[in-house]
Chains A and B, each alone.
Chain A
Amino acid sequence: GAGVSQSPSNKVTEKGKDVELRCDPISGHTALYWYRQSLGQGLEFLIYFQGNSAPDKSGLPSDRFSAERTGGSVSTLTIQRTQQEDSAVYLCASSSGTRLVSDEQYFGPGTRLTVT
């Protein structure tokens, strides 16, 4: 079946502009995660949605970052007033939301954001 998809694959924006990144999770997956991967760094957790529960926003680096998940499916990560330090690959992952060892997070290909 289809995996996690993200759009756009690449985004170049000017400093100060707002950007929206989209994630389409695997159908039926109740858990959705956003991570950020900077050059030479590991993946940094940003925000986590699980079903209808309030999202875990503890990883968002500033109030310029926000995310929504509409209808328990598609998610949009919004970065307002982008800064050069926001340049990174933004990865989305989804999982079935169980606690089984077999419940893995499936990652999308990411959106490479470049702020000039």
Chain B
Amino acid sequence: QQQVKQSPQSLIVQKGGISIINCAYENTAFDYFPWYQQFPGKGPALLIAIRPDVSEKKEGRFTISFNKSAKQFSLHIMDSQPGDSATYFCAASMRDSGNTPLVFGKGTRLSVIA
């Protein structure tokens, strides 16, 4: 049973465009939703994270939108740049239950073309 479903698998965006990646979760006990960015040969690095008490969080060009009732959250990358080309993973965990391990989506390979 996949607890976090991520789409699309791959995404091609023009430079300057908006990249949107979506995730849906099943476990209503999840209370921490991070997005990770991974470049080839590197480990994932935290990009931005949100708790369910807010519907949106913005950090620079990156925004998480969170819909608790729909159990969905998404990553928006504004003004996408070639340097944003990487694999993005959404994840979820139960932080208030004692820092449980992250449950990851299967990833989205983003290519930003000039």
List chain A positions with a Cβ less than 8 A from chain B.
4, 31, 33, 35, 40-45, 48, 50, 56, 59, 91, 93, 95, 97-99, 101, 103-110
A residues less than 8 Å from B34 (CB atoms): 104
A99 touching B104 by the CB < 8 A rule? no
Interface pairs (11), CB distance under 8 Å: A4-B43, A33-B102, A42-B107, A43-B44, A43-B91, A45-B103, A50-B98, A99-B96, A101-B49, A104-B34, A105-B102
- B104→A43 contact, CB < 8 A: yes
For chains A and B in complex, what number of residue pairs have CB atoms within 8 angstroms?
63
Find chain A residues with CB under 8 A from B74 CB. Answer: none
CB-based contact B51/A50 at 8 Å:
no
Q: Which residues of A contact B105 (CB under 8 A)?
A: 42
Q: Is the CB of B99 within 8 A of A109?
A: no
Known A59-B101, A91-B44, A99-B95: A40·B49 in contact at CB below 8 Å: no
User: B6: CB under 8 A from chain A?
Assistant: yes
A-B contact sample (5 more), CB < 8 A, given A40-B106, A45-B101, A99-B95: A35-B101, A41-B107, A42-B89, A43-B91, A107-B45
Task: Report the interface size class on chain B.
Answer: 20 to 34
B99 and A50 within 8 A (CB): yes
With a CB–CB cut-off of 8 A, which chain A residues contact B6?
Answer: 42
| Complex: A103 Cα to B91 Cα, angstroms | 14
Q: Which residues of B contact A50 (CB under 8 A)?
A: 98-99
A99, B43: Cβ atoms closer than 8 Å: no
What distance in Å separates the Cβ of B39 from its nearest Cβ neighbour in chain A? 10
Nearest neighbor of A9 in chain B, beta-carbon distance: B41
Q: Would you call B99 and A97 a contact (CB within 8 A)?
A: yes
Residue in chain B with minimal CB distance to A3: B43
> Which A residues touch B32, using CB under 8 A?
101
B113 interfacial contact with A, CB 8 Å: no
Residues of chain A within 8 A (CB-CB) of B4 are 42
- What is the CA–CA distance of A31 and B93 in the complex, to the nearest angstrom? 14
